């Protein structure tokens, strides 16, 4: 027998959130009678036996009942379970498993292509051997940025404003910083900052615009700051273990992008294979193109007065 239930939810902030909640309720055989993001409540009509399932699915997407205490949301074991599910290619993470395979394949192909190009055309150029560790970072930055962008696109139809602003900031900040740091080290603050800002702003806007102007602006601001900061930090660390510093911070940056993937999966739900909007050829070509652009800037771009090595 159907009854009406009123739920007061935290995490509901905008019209996009209302749309996500309506989809969750609808696919569980219930109906939304009234919903108000400003007040944070929703009135649902449905069978009693589906209410628990709806509450759990809402909580998994970030919409918990006010006053509830779900300590498991901060449990690191959930992150490990997410990684294990990708390795097992579970149904709920098919998109992640496919994109991970694309990334590994692209990492190998791009790495080999850059290594061959380096040996054939770049090895005899000034500072070429000193730049070799930065070429490795260029491949890494290109592949993980391509992965994160395509992963976010899988979820673009269900991202709330809050999550959209977060991923817009992340995708503006991390790629912008990585590009700014690499190019800034070899070409100086001006070229590095411009390259980093362009990379960050483009990625931040392309991902953040899924939730409108707020996410797009978040991407612009994050890209602007990150591109400049990446170039500045490289110049500041020129005489203090620059390469080791970059490898450490790029590792942290990669972890942040992986964390964004986990956030999308936990807050919005799994995506199946059919929702991946790229192919392995397109993924690899994009990664290689981004790497080549950075390599060209490193070797042939204008140089500032203070650069590595």
Same domain, yes or no: 50 and 90? no
* Residue 56 confidence (pLDDT) above 90: no
Segments forming the whole domain that contains residue 18: 2-71
pLDDT (0 to 100) of residue 174: 98
Q: Estimate to the nearest angstrom the gap between the alpha carbon of 257 and the chain centroid.
A: 5
What does the DSSP 8-state code read for residue 127? T
Helix or strand (DSSP H, E) at 34: strand 31-36
Phi, psi at residue 43, to the nearest 5°? Answer: -105, 125
Look up the CATH number of the domain holding residue 35: 3.30.70.100
Same domain, yes or no: 193 and 250? yes
pLDDT (0 to 100) of residue 74: 59
Give the separation between CA 234 and CA 248, rounded to whole angstroms. Answer: 13
Q: Is residue 175 part of a domain?
A: yes
| 253 compared with 71, residue with greater pLDDT | 253
* Residue 19 confidence (pLDDT) above 60: yes
pTM for the full predicted model? 0.82
Cα separations in angstroms, 133 against 186, 272, 290 = 12, 37, 17
Q: What is the mean pLDDT of the chain?
A: 90
Which of 28, 50, 71 delimits the end of a domain? Answer: 71
Same domain, yes or no: 119 and 57? no
| Pairing state between β 2-10 and 64-65 | antiparallel
pLDDT (0 to 100) of residue 156: 86
Longest dimension (CA), the chain: 79
Which of 43, 71, 99 delimits the end of a domain? Answer: 71
């Amino acid at each position: 027998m159907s009854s009406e239930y009123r739920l007061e939810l935290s995490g509901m902030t905008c019209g996009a959130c209302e749309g996500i909640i309506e989809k969750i309720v609808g696919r569980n055989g219930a109906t939304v009678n009234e919903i108000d993001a400003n007040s944070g409540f929703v009135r649902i009509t449905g069978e009693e036996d589906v209410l628990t399932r709806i509450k759990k699915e809402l909580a998994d997407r970030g919409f918990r009942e006010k006053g509830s205490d779900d300590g498991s949301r901060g449990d690191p074991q959930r992150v490990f379970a997410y990684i294990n599910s990708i390795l097992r290619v579970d149904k709920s993470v098919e998109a992640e498993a496919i994109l991970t395979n694309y990334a590994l394949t692209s990492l190998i192909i791009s790495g080999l292509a850059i290594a061959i190009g380096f040996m054939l055309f770049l090895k005899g150029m000034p500072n070429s051997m000193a730049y070799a560790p930065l070429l490795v970072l260029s491949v890494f930055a290109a592949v993980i940025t391509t992965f994160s962008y395509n992963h976010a696109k899988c979820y673009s139809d269900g991202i709330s404003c809050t999550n959209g602003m977060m991923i817009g900031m992340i995708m503006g900040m991390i790629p912008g910083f990585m590009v700014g740091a690499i190019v800034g080290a070899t070409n100086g603050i001006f070229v590095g900052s411009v390259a980093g800002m362009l990379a960050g702003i483009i990625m931040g806007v392309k991902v953040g615009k899924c939730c409108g102007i707020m996410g797009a602006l978040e991407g612009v601001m994050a890209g602007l700051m990150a591109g400049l900061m990446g170039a500045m930090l490289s110049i500041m660390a020129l005489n203090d273990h620059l390469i080791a510093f970059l490898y450490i911070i790029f590792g942290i940056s990669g972890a942040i992008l992986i964390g964004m993937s986990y956030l999308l999966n936990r807050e919005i739900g799994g995506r199946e294979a059919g929702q991946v909007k790229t192919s392995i050829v397109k993924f690899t070509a994009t990664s290689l193109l981004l790497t080549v652009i950075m390599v060209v800037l490193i070797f042939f771009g204008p140089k500032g007065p203070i650069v590595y090595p």
